[in-house]
Amino acid sequence: MSKHSKYIKVNLILIAVGFVIAVFLLANQPNVTQNLTEDTVIQKVEIPAEIAGRKEQIICHTGYTVSYNSDWKIPNWVAYELTKEEVGGAVERYDVFMPDPEVPSDESATTYDYKGTGWDRGHMAPAGDMKWSEQAMKESFYLSNICPQNKKLNSGIWKDLEEQVRELARQKGKIYVVCGPIVSQRPKTIGSNNVAVPDAFFKVLLQYENGNWSAIAFMYPNQSGRKPLSTYAMSVEEIQKITDIDFFPALPDSIEQKAESEVDFSKWNIKSDK
C-alpha cells in the first residue's frame, strides 16, 4: 500500500472515531430546555437583546443596568434582579438627582430640564428597591434612570406596582425586572436638552418557581387614572411588539416562548383588582 493510501486510511479512521464520540456525547447531553434551573441559567438573564436602530449606551451600576438613549436623554430600559434580602435593606432615601457620570455631559439631561414643567422625575429602577446599598441608592437618582412622568401616575398606580414587586421578591426570593418608557417617533420634549416625554411606561417581570419560568408585563399610559391592575397587564410577547425590545434572550427559545406568551396572575400572587 502506498504512503498516500495509508494516509487516507488513517484519516478516515480518525474521522469515524470522532463521529462516534460526537454522537455519544450528544446522546448523553442533558436536555437544556428541561433542566434549565435558576442556578444554571447564565448571569444577567434580565438583560434584553441589543436594540436595532436606536441609540443605546449600556451602563452597569451597582443595583441595575441601564440602556441609555442619548437622543431621548432617558433610558431605553432599566433591568435588575430584586431579592428577598435586598428588599429588607434599611438605607435611607438619597433624594439628590444628578446626571449619570458615565454619560457624556452633552448627551445628558439636567435637573433644570424638569423644573417648572409639571412632570415628575420618575424612577425606572425605584429607590425603594435599592435600600440594600448606599451606592445603589445614590445611583438610582442618576438621570439616566429617570423619565418625565405624570405626577399622579408616579405617586399612584406606578408606585403601587413597585410595592407589589417588592412583596413578590419577599415571597418568592428573587424577581427579575425590566422597565422603561414607550416613546413615540416625534415625542414631546422638555427643557433645553430636549428630554423626551414618554407616551407610556412598561414593566416586565420574570420569575423561576417550582421548576418553571414565568413572565408577565404591564403597560401604563403616562397620565393620571386608576383602574384595576389587570387592565394594564399583558403578555411579554405583546409588549415586545409595542416596544421593539427582545426580552430575556438568554433563555432557551422553548422556555422563552412559553413564558412570554402567557398572562397568568395565579403564578404571581399579585392583587389584580387593586
Instruction: Give the residue numbers marked as catalytic.
Output: 123
Residue 6 is placed in which grid cell? Answer: 495509508
Q: Are 162 and 126 in contact (CB under 8 A)?
A: yes
Residues 175, 203, 54, CA angle at the centre, nearest 5°? 115
Taking the C-alpha atoms of residue 129 and residue 163, their distance in angstroms, rounded to an integer, is: 9
Taking the C-alpha atoms of residue 218 and residue 161, their distance in angstroms, rounded to an integer, is: 9
DSSP state of 14: H
Taking the C-alpha atoms of residue 74 and residue 103, their distance in angstroms, rounded to an integer, is: 11
Query: Which residue from 204, 185, 212 is spatially nearest to 246, judged by alpha carbons?
Result: 204
